[in-house]
Chains A and B, each alone.
Chain A
């Protein structure tokens, strides 16, 4: 009976609890047997062609996130213009859409790349006359451009015949823009790296191997950078900085059949992502510079014609094209980490031509940027996926083969 007394005391004392509980019951969304499925809304996912902006089939560009729903990129049009566009994603009626707007347009061709630093953009392209130009865009207006490559280089190397820069990157620590390519002087070509400050003033130039072709550059710790180049029948990796304090050269025993090579670096590891044009297999080479060891991991997709990617943590997010002869080329996405691949996915809802860029979204997942063919025209095509390469309509997969 003592227990009963305690129980009754409890009932009497905590009657207010009953009231609160009843209120909670009343206020809860109890009229729905199933909770609303928010996955489509909470994870942006779509595969959309930017059909308002036709482009050419080959140029280099990158895509940048203003926030989780707005993106900025540059494209080269068939009419000899460079366009800076904004893509804005919206969720309406349970469907994701992309609205695009033209921010800036100017005459140019041979777009080699765009980098972003502190809300300013630097674009490497050629003017209609064929003069390679580095342009600074601030608040979506052309603030300044630079075309005097030969004049600047002539101060260091006499008789520069020509310059050809393939792409550019940003050294955030030094606030420098690094261009890599080749410089021809007195009939000889040299691989070179040219540095600019943020006002497009050239700072320094470094040349490396004679008759070598620079393939890619990536920034490393401190103010150093890594340059990979093809020299004769071998691949050379050069570690250097602006003052040449830490110059090193590594000769890589990698088959030169690997083309369109991209390089990423983190800590002691250097990652090389490339496609073997003979075997049509993409591979990720992981090089440990201190141990001088290497590990190769094949990408789980076949046959691959071209691949691009980014380094995200300890994994490389890859975006490529599968092109079986006679079949419509498909895009594929996958992750490759040391020793394994956790997911991959294939998108066949367009005639994919080539990957342009991969971006880790500010929110969830990744944004894959492609060129796709539609009729006789080419258009930018964006695929937004979750963190495992899946969209709401194209579910998670772990085997693309």
Chain B
């Protein structure tokens, strides 16, 4: 036993010496490289965003949409990476990347409208940490690892299906939402200076989160020179593909092969989906207070509240007006038929009181009627504006694709920086 113990001590010491004597290949990013990585990070996010737009665009070929799904998946560090987003409801949901892409791919055809645009920050922060190289098993050397972080302001126009009721046919409503997202990147490299940049996670920062200076970040992004972007960056991918081909890089398309059955299934399912159509307001919606409000509003209880409020206010004030008018007429008749001025004056005062109540309640009824019409009109206008904005963007995206315009990303490729893209 003593011999064994001595042997173990010797082996431990040998191992310790091996690690200690390992040659450290440290590589620090200079400012140019950092700027290039920053640009790369931006374009990674653009790619992510473009993929989102493509996946949700039901007018594109399903294979292209599936390809975008694969592209998106490969932008992330691993399958456990999470993305927080607003999709089916107004509340943010945390998805694993695979679930997220599936959710976009499968559920988006059921959503009549999903439009996004984003604006990113000029600030890109780096953090560094010791980490082993990319090929840990073969290259036993430690290299620096960098973590990048950027904030993105995202605006989306989403849709909520509104089921039919006694007062309305099925329809949908568009809503706008603005969210602040934090995007984290991870940059690693090996001894051959092959770098790999991955998205490590995307999360929505709520306003209430005290860990962030929410308003300051939002204001900063708003002031950033980058405009809101909602353009499909398909050409950017094409440009990258060209670059990859020119440099004889390998494009991995294996992801498409095994999923033909799924694609077929999805194609069939999509054919069967009947998306609700947006219902324009009818004359009756304007003429009958409360009638049309069951078709406007994301929240069901809010729709019911509006319907109940307008209709009850109108019915109530109208009933009160009628009641007072009838009383005013009756008392006014008594005023006219009175045989004495005293009685006539008393009835006149009483009739006037009823008449004033009638005027006020009629004013309320007419006000409710007008307010209802105006409210319906503005609700419809708002919906139209959102829908048109969302649909216009889709048309623009397609028209850019149809014209075959080339978009070359403004990214610096120099001899020291190489990218490893996987599709």
Contacts and interface: CB of A to CB of B under 8 A. Distances in A.
Contacts of A22: 287, 369
A321 B41 CA distance: 113
A67 B23 CA distance: 132
A43 B340 CA distance: 7
Among A25, A386, A388, A396, max chain B CB count under 10 A is at A25
A9 interface: yes
A10 to B, nearest CB: 9
Contact of A43 (B165, B290, B338, B355): B338
A19 B287 contact: yes
Contact of A395 (B314, B335, B341): B341
B394 to A, nearest CB: 35
Interface string A340-375: 000000000000000000000000110000000000
Interface in B313-331: 314, 318, 321-322, 325, 328
Contacts of B318: 21, 25
B340 A390 contact: yes
A5 B308 CA distance: 12
B362 A25 contact: yes
B288 A42 contact: no
Contacts of A18: 287-289, 314
B275 interface: no
A11 B291 CA distance: 7
Nearest to B355: A35
A11 B311 contact: yes
A364 B369 CA distance: 44
B304 interface: yes
A28 interface: yes
A12 B365 contact: no
Contacts of A34: 352, 355
A365 B304 CA distance: 59
Contact of B304 (A4, A25, A30, A38): A4
Among A5, A9, A12, max chain B CB count under 10 A is at A12
Contacts of B365: 21, 25
Nearest to B319: A21
A200 interface: no
B359 interface: yes
B62 interface: no
Given A11-B291, A34-B352, A45 B311 contact: no
A5 B341 contact: no
Contact of B341 (A11, A15, A396): A396
Contact of A25 (B284, B336, B355, B366): B366
Interface string A88-117: 000000000000000000000000000000
Contacts of B366: 25
B322 A43 contact: no
A314 interface: no
Given A25-B321, A396-B341, A12 B359 contact: no
Interface in B363-384: 365-366, 369
Contacts of B321: 25
B345 A15 contact: no
B167 A390 contact: no
Given A25-B362, A25-B366, A11 B340 contact: no
Among B289, B294, B341, B355, max chain A CB count under 10 A is at B341
Nearest to A394: B341
Interface string A143-186: 00000000000000000000000000000000000000000000
Contacts of A32: 355
B339 interface: yes
Contacts of A11: 167, 288, 290-291, 311
Interface residues of A, number: 36
B165 A8 contact: yes
B166 interface: yes
A2 interface: no
A42 B322 CA distance: 26
B81 to A, nearest CB: 43
Given A8-B165, A12-B166, A28-B325, A42 B284 contact: no
A38 B351 CA distance: 12
A37 B348 contact: yes
Given A35-B351, A365-B339, A43 B344 contact: yes
A260 to B, nearest CB: 28
A247 interface: no
Interface residues of B, number: 42
Contacts of B332: 35
B34 interface: no
B322 A21 contact: yes
B339 A386 contact: yes
A337 to B, nearest CB: 16
A364 B341 CA distance: 11
B113 to A, nearest CB: 27
A149 B189 CA distance: 152
A24 interface: yes
A7 interface: yes
B304 A15 contact: no
Nearest to A24: B322
B144 interface: no
B337 interface: yes
A233 interface: no
B342 A12 contact: no
A396 B342 CA distance: 7
B339 A8 contact: no
B90 interface: no
B356 interface: yes
Contacts of A33: 356, 359
Contacts of A30: 358-359, 362
Contact of A388 (B288, B307, B342): B342
Nearest to B318: A21
Contact of B337 (A4, A21, A42, A392): A42
Contact of A15 (B165, B284, B351): B284
A5 B166 contact: yes
B214 to A, nearest CB: 39
Given A33-B356, A34-B352, A35-B355, A392 B167 contact: no
Contacts of A8: 165-167, 294, 307
Given A25-B362, A386-B340, A39 B345 contact: yes
B99 to A, nearest CB: 34
A261 interface: no
14 contacts: A8-B307, A18-B289, A21-B318, A24-B322, A25-B321, A28-B358, A33-B359, A34-B352, A35-B352, A39-B344, A43-B339, A45-B341, A392-B341, A395-B342
Interface of A: 4-5, 7-9, 11-12, 15, 18-19, 21-22, 24-25, 28, 30, 32-35, 37-39, 42-43, 45, 364-365, 386-388, 390-392, 395-396
Given A4-B308, A25-B321, A388-B342, 7 more contacts: A11-B311, A30-B362, A38-B336, A38-B344, A364-B338, A387-B339, A396-B342
